[in-house]
Structures are given as structure tokens and as C-alpha cells.
Amino acid sequence: MEQKDPKILIIGLGQIGYHNAEYMTRLGLNVEGFDLERSAIQRALNAEVIRREAKAFTGYDYYLICVSTHDPMNMAQPSFNSLLEIAERLEQEGEEGGLVSIESTVAKGISNQVHSILGHRLHVAHVPHRFYSEDKKEHGVRQLRVLGGCKYCCTLEALNFYAAILNIPVHTVKSVELAELSKIIENSHRFLEIAFAEELKMFCDNEGLDFEELQGAINSKWNIKILEARNGIGGHCLPKDTQMFFSLAKNILPFSTVAAAIQSDKLYQTFVSKREDFQVIFPNNYISQKKLATN
């Protein structure tokens, strides 16, 4: 689709949607926004990153879905209700031939579910986001993005939008499922790395060893980076994305390192929140052994 002044609707104006709007508006594009939260709309209007609030989904060339995909009652659990409700509405109001780009993180199969709700009246692609607010220039909206379409024509539409209109470099994959998996596995990998650091921290505290010193010694090698162990793995990205991968892996594999990492992080969270119960959590630990020896 070639248009002179393409109209873009960003649905969900949180961290991801707001910065998309900011980037696209700075390019001089015609960007409008929609969010259930008044405060999100107001923030985008005040900063002039959107021209106006959309009242309906009619009349746009590009629809970017950037809504949350976690259970509102439990951030660690995925939920696609909001996203699928938007798909239902797009089926009614979305402009025929438009592109729906799902930037929210989704489980394998969700993009095709959206595509089937839309009956291919609109193209559907998944272009998972990655965002680092501390360095928006290098790791913000304009960074190498994975892109997969539900059909070949969807991929072509998405390529035209991201590469030609938005000037964003893309890494195209053969299927939309690969794009979905690339994001949730990237975050599962991160989860594993943090959980391993947490495991080492618990191990060190039990053995009376200095975790930071051990970490520094290990990281003196060029090809390894043990991460920090902080307060447990939180937020609305890593835990839920790891759950998305684990719920697939558990049906296929008899064992899972991800399952172990989830358990390990749970133990670590108990460990950091209840330090006074250290001996209850780890009865054979260094501290209690020392106490026994001095008694």
C-alpha cells in the first residue's frame, strides 16, 4: 500500500506505544492514539506525540497494537483478552487492506488468531518490541527488529512500513510464530541468566562466601558474564514471557531448565524477603553450622 500521508493508529499508549508515537510523530507522520486509560491519552496529547485521540478504528492505514499482555491480577501470568478484544473491534472497524502490527509480546499462535478474527481483511504481522529507556537512541524504537507476517503479503506490507516508512532496520523471519518465539525465548534466556545469579548468591551466602568477589573472578574471563542478584525477577515482562515459553516447553520436553529457574527465583524471592528466616529456609547453611560449632 503506497499512501502520501499514511494514517497511523497506536493502540495502547504505555511505555511502548508512547515511544512509538513519539518516534513516528518526529518523522512527521500522522499519528493518532487510543488507550483505555485517560491518563495515558492525556500524557501523549500533552507531549504532542499524537495529533488526537481516536474515537473509532476506522480510516487508518496502519494499526500498531501495543497493549499490555499480562493478567491485570497477576503480572507474572500472560493474558491476551485485551488484545483479542481489539482484534474483534478491528474486524468491525478496521480499514480493509490496512496493516495490523502486533508489537505487544504474545505467545506462539496469537498473531494467527488475530489474523483469523480479521479474516485477512487486514494484514497482520508481529514485530516484537525491545526497549531500553536509559538509551532510547541505540535501544529505543529504531533498533534492529524481528519481523514476521501471517502471510507473505502481510510480511511485505510490514516490511514497507518499518523499513521504508519508519526507517527501522528489520530482521525478517519465515513465519509469524518464529517472530513470536524469538521474543519470549529472548526473555526466557534473560530469566535463566538472572536465576542462575540468584542461585549462586544463595549458594555463596550458605557457604559463607562473598558472591560479588566470586562473580568478579568468574567475569574476569572474556566469554562469561554472571549477572547481579538483586531482589528477584519482577516487572511485567520477564516473568510472563518466560511463562509463555514454559507453557509450550512443558508439553514437549520431560525436563525444563526454565521450570527450574522459575522455582529458583521463587526460592530467592523468599530468601531476600525473609532474611530473618534464613535458617528455616536453609537449615544446613553456613551460619547455623557456625553457630552449632561455637555452642
Ligand X SMILES: NC(=O)c1ccc[n+]([C@@H]2O[C@H](COP(=O)([O-])OP(=O)(O)OC[C@H]3O[C@@H](n4cnc5c(N)ncnc54)[C@H](O)[C@@H]3O)[C@@H](O)[C@H]2O)c1
Write out the residues near ligand X by the rule CB under 6 A: 11-17, 34-37, 40, 66-69, 82, 85-86, 104-105, 129-131, 237
Q: Residue 135 or 207: which CB sits closer to ligand X?
A: 135
To ligand X, the closest distance from the beta carbon of 217 in angstroms equals 32
Residue nearest to ligand X (CB): 14
Q: What Å distances lie between residue 119 and 8, 88, 104, CA to CA?
A: 21, 11, 21
Looking at the Cβ atoms of 14 and 281, the one nearer to ligand X is 14
Contact yes or no for 140/214 (Cβ under 8 A): no
Contacts of residue 24, defined as CB under 8 A and 6 or more positions apart, other chains included, come to 8, 10, 31, 166
CB of 40 to ligand X, least distance (A): 4
Distance CA 268, CA 207 (A): 16
| Residue for grid cell 492525556 | 42
Least distance (Å) between residue 247 CB and ligand X: 16
Pair 63, 100: CB distance under 8 Å: yes
Q: How far is the CB of 223 from ligand X (least distance, A)?
A: 27
Q: Which is nearer to ligand X, 35 or 265 (CB)?
A: 35
Nearer to ligand X, 42 or 219 (CB): 42
- Minimum gap (Å) between residue 185 Cβ and ligand X: 13
- Our CB check for ligand X shows the closer of 31 and 204 to be 31
| CB-count exposure of residue 263 (10 Å: 0-12, 13-18, 19+) | exposed
